[in-house]
């Protein structure tokens, strides 16, 4: 039954761009594409977060990814198809440079969070400081190709193309999450998250697993950054690097629940939908009101629903089902 | 080549900035040392206190010293409110959730300030002269802030070492289980700590508002550096934080003159990251392994 439901939902998502929506199509598609891309990034973050590696600096990988392809395309005309490889390689390199000493010197918990936070800020500030070729805090627009749809430049005026690309990325992210969930690496990482010394004493190679999961997470995040940059065709240090976006990723995931497959998606969808809704309701009259409500909700959720919306919902459903099974027996 | 006078001026300014940063970091560090929770929103609460000072002085025409005291009191009240409303319910939650709850507070405070007061930069206009010493121009406001910051820190030191409740606070920081066994209520001590930490935020706000203009993203500008100082000094370690504040502020100030402000911060953060690997327990920690 859940499988059939999931397939039906997927079919609905697949044909969504062709449902007649009148003049609303571009806007609806835009919101959904954003949800897919940021859910993908949230999933990438949760690969680490669920094992206690709470990074507050994933903006660093986003920024490295987005700026690498953008600068390579703008300055050298290198197609993003190759640029994305460079971007992912650089992000993984950065991740390893930070994660290796963190793992070797046992930097966990608060300290890990603050070190990653510093890394995110370093990337943001470097982008701003090198304003001669990165555009500084004004950001950078991707050079437009000659045609409205260019495979070489990976820029399409038609939102439907990016809709399917983002959908594919999101499904890919779910698949990675699922594979990891079923693998030995998950047990190993959980053991490490619980007690590193104990894990090491039963023969788990702590550093190798931590580096592996960090590299994977960074690579996917950088890919998400590239995807976002190609879609919006504009990059900005405030929206793609630093503490703001890093915290935003974490919040969306925590809101949804970081221990379940769909948690990041649910959290991201709710935060984006809420932000859009509040923006439409309040418009330009009350600037900041949307974010205020968002912040307030976050605090309340973390206090009252620490497992996240989706996580708590699943717990409740499972408990009820178990209750019914017990009553039948 | 940069004129040595500029460098000297930057070094002195760094020293003066360090005093205020140290005060900022000490409040956060006190809370961390006692409650083992990092208030991500700490500097945003400072921002709120700065608005209090601004409105009292510029709109209601209070004298600066009185508004300063009000800012201090506002800080203490906010500290207690944050503790009761947000920290108490999640005192036993995993550290991640604690970080995130105060992070949510950050969003809330920042956006609510934007909503109430817009993103305008507002500054308390009190004209203080600038002094010329050996070819360097030093702002009197900064000197005053530095002196008051040192006084405030001295006050905190005396409070923690010479009063009964201060001693109790230090005892909880050392071993909260044992304190409960001695019949002291950790809850009450937490509240007092949050009030004192908040008052330090208020004090820092007063000193910052005579040299910087306040805007809703003030916390984002000073927040990261404040955490770095706390961690670099060793979370909970007051003397370490004091030292770290001056090291980082010198790097930012002198680096800012040689390259650019952003590069100064980049170098400071990079140093922080490296130091975390070399001395994870803080500057003054004895290596345990």
Looking up residue B223, the CATH number of its domain turns out to be 1.10.3470
Which has the higher per-residue pLDDT, A27 or B3?
A27
Taking an 8 Å cut-off on Cβ atoms, the answer to whether B112 and A247 are in contact is no
Residues A76, A77, A81: CA angle, nearest 5 degrees: 115
Does the residue B73 lie in any domain?
yes
Please indicate, yes or no, if residue A287 is contained in any of the structural domains.
no
d(CA A48, CA B119): 35
Average confidence score pLDDT of chain B: 84
Kindly state whether A110 is in contact with chain B, defined as any CB-CB distance less than 8 angstroms: yes
Contacts of A113 in chain B (CB under 8 A): 96, 99
Across the interface, of B116, B216, B273, the residue whose CB is closest to A118 is: B273
Contact status of A101 with chain B (Cβ, < 8 Å): yes
- Give a yes or no: residue A283 inside a domain: no
Number of domains, chain A = 1
Distance CA B185, CA B287 (A): 33
Q: Give the pLDDT confidence score for residue B286 in this predicted structure.
A: 54
Q: pLDDT tens digit string along A284-293?
A: 667 777 778 8
Does the distance separating the beta carbons of B104 and A251 come in below 8 Å? Answer: yes
Give the residue from chain A lying closest to B256, CA to CA.
A129
Residue B128 falls inside a structural domain: no
More confident residue, B2 or A8: A8
Judging contacts by C-beta atoms under 8 Å, the chain A residues touching residue B280 are 105-107, 111
Instruction: Give the domain range for residue A181.
Output: 25-242
C-alpha distance from B51 to closest chain A C-alpha (Å): 17
Q: Please check whether residue A313 lies inside any domain of the structure.
A: no
- Say if A1 falls within a structural domain: no
Looking at residue A152, its pLDDT comes to 82
- A288 touches B: beta carbon within 8 Å: yes
Q: Does B186 touch chain A (CB under 8 A)?
A: no
**Cross-chain Cβ contact B97/A254 below 8 Å:** yes
User: Does the beta carbon of A94 lie under 8 angstroms from any beta carbon of chain B?
Assistant: no
**Using one digit for the tens of pLDDT, what is the confidence trace for B160-181?**
888 888 888 888 877 777 777 8
The DSSP bridge partners found for residue A140 are A235
Residue B184, burial from CB neighbour count under 10 angstroms (0-12, 13-18, 19+): middle
Average pLDDT estimate for B69-83: 94
- The shortest CB-CB distance from B111 to any of A106, A113, A291 is to A291
B35 interfaces chain A, CB cutoff of 8 Å: no
- Position with higher pLDDT, A11 vs B200: B200
Residue B130, domain member (yes or no):
no
Residue B39 inside a domain? The answer is: yes
pLDDT of amino acid A45 = 94
A101, part of any domain: yes
Q: What is the pLDDT of residues B89-99, one digit of tens each?
A: 888 877 777 88
In a domain, A282, yes or no: no
Q: Do B100 and A251 touch (CB under 8 A)?
A: yes
Q: Is there a domain that residue A303 lies in?
A: no
In degrees and rounded to multiples of 5, residue A33 shows phi and psi of: -60, -45
Question: Which pTM was predicted?
Answer: 0.85
Tell me, yes or no, if A197 comes closer than 8 A to chain B by beta carbon: no
Closest chain B residue by Cα to residue A305:
B97
What is the C-alpha separation between B219 and B44, in angstroms, rounded?
Answer: 4
Rounded CA-CA distance B208/B50 in Å is 8
Per residue in A31-47, pLDDT tens? Answer: 999 999 999 999 999 99
- DSSP state, residue A136: G
Closest-CA distance, B273 to chain A, in angstroms, reads 6
Closest in B96, B224, B277 to A117, CB measured: B224
Q: Which long-range contacts (CB under 8 A, 24 or more apart) does A79-82 make?
A: A79/A152, A79/A153, A79/A154, A80/A153, A80/A154, A80/A226, A80/A230, A81/A152, A81/A154
In sequence order, the 6+-apart residues with CB closer than 8 A to the CB of A132 are none
CA distance B34 to B182: 17
Residue of chain B nearest A250, judged by CA positions: B100
pLDDT band, residue A257 (cuts 50/70/90): confident
CA distance A172 to chain B (A): 27
What is the ipTM for the molecules in this complex?
0.81
A215 domain-assigned: yes
pLDDT in tens, B234-252: 776 778 888 888 889 989 8
Domain count, chain B: 1
Instruction: Give residue-wise pLDDT tens across range B110-151.
Output: 888 988 888 888 888 776 777 777 666 777 778 888 888 888
Q: How far apart are CA A86 and CA B114, in angstroms?
A: 39
Task: Give residues with Cβ within 8 angstroms of A323, minimum separation 6.
Answer: none
Interface membership of A60 toward B (CB under 8 Å):
no
Distance from CA of A178 to the nearest CA of B (A): 23
* Over residues A87-103, mean pLDDT: 93
Q: Do B111 and A290 touch (CB under 8 A)?
A: yes
Residues A50 and A260: their CA atoms lie apart, in Å, by 9
């Amino acid at each position: 039954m859940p499988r059939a439901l999931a397939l039906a939902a997927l079919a609905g998502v697949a044909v969504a761009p062709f449902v007649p929506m009148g003049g609303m199509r571009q806007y609806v598609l835009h919101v959904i594409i954003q949800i897919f891309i940021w859910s993908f990034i949230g999933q990438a973050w949760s690969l680490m977060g669920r094992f206690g590696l709470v990074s507050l600096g994933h903006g660093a990988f986003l920024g490295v990814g987005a700026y690498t392809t953008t600068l390579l395309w703008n300055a050298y005309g290198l197609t993003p198809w190759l640029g994305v490889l460079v971007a992912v390689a650089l992000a993984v390199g950065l991740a390893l440079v930070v994660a290796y000493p963190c793992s070797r010197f046992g930097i966990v918990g608060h300290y890990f969070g603050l070190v990653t936070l510093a890394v995110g800020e370093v990337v943001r500030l470097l982008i701003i400081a090198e304003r001669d070729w990165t555009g500084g805090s004004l950001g950078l627009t991707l050079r437009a190709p000659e045609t409205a749809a260019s495979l070489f430049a990976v820029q399409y005026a038609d939102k439907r193309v990016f809709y399917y690309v983002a959908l594919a990325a999101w499904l890919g992210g779910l698949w990675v999450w699922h594979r990891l969930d079923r693998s030995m690496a998950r047990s190993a990482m959980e053991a490490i998250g619980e007690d590193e010394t104990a894990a090491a004493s039963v023969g788990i190679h702590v550093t190798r697993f931590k580096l592996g999961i960090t590299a994977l997470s960074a690579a996917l995040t950088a890919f998400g950054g590239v995807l976002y940059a190609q879609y919006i065709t504009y990059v900005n240090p405030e929206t793609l690097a630093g503490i703001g976006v890093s915290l935003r990723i974490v919040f969306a995931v925590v809101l949804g629940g970081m221990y379940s497959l769909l948690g990041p998606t649910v959290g991201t969808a709710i935060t984006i939908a809420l932000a859009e809704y509040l923006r439409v309701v309040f418009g330009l009259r009350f600037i900041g009101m949307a974010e205020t409500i968002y912040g307030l909700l976050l605090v309340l959720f973390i206090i009252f629903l620490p497992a996240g919306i989706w996580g708590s919902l699943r717990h409740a459903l499972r408990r009820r089902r178990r209750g019914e099974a017990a009553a039948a027996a | 080549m940069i004129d040595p006078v500029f460098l000297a001026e930057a070094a002195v300014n760094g020293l003066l900035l360090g005093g205020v940063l140290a005060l900022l970091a000490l409040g956060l560090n006190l809370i961390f040392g006692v409650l083992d929770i990092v208030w991500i929103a700490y500097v945003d609460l400072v921002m709120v206190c700065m608005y209090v000072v601004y409105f009292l002085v510029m709109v209601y025409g209070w004298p600066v010293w009185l508004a300063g005291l009000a800012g201090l009191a506002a800080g203490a009240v906010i500290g207690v409110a944050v503790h009761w409303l947000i920290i108490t319910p999640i005192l036993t939650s995993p550290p991640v959730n604690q970080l995130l709850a105060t992070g949510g507070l950050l969003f809330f405070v920042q956006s609510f300030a934007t909503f109430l007061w817009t993103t305008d930069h507002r500054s308390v206009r009190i004209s203080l002269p600038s002094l010329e010493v050996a070819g360097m121009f030093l702002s009197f406001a900064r000197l005053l802030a530095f002196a008051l910051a040192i006084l405030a820190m001295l006050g905190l030191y005396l409070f923690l070492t010479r009063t009964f409740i201060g001693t109790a606070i230090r005892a909880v920081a050392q071993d909260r289980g044992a304190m409960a066994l001695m019949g002291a209520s950790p809850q009450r001590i937490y509240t007092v700590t949050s009030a004192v930490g908040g008052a330090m935020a208020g004090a820092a706000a007063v000193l910052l508002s005579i040299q910087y203009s306040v805007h809703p993203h003030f916390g984002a500008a000073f927040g990261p550096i404040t955490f770095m100082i706390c961690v670099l000094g060793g979370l909970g370690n007051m003397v370490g934080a004091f030292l770290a504040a001056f090291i980082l502020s010198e790097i930012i100030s002198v680096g800012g003159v040689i390259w650019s402000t952003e590069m100064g911060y980049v170098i400071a953060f990079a140093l922080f990251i490296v130091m975390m690997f070399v001395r994870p327990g803080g500057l003054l920690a004895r290596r345990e392994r």
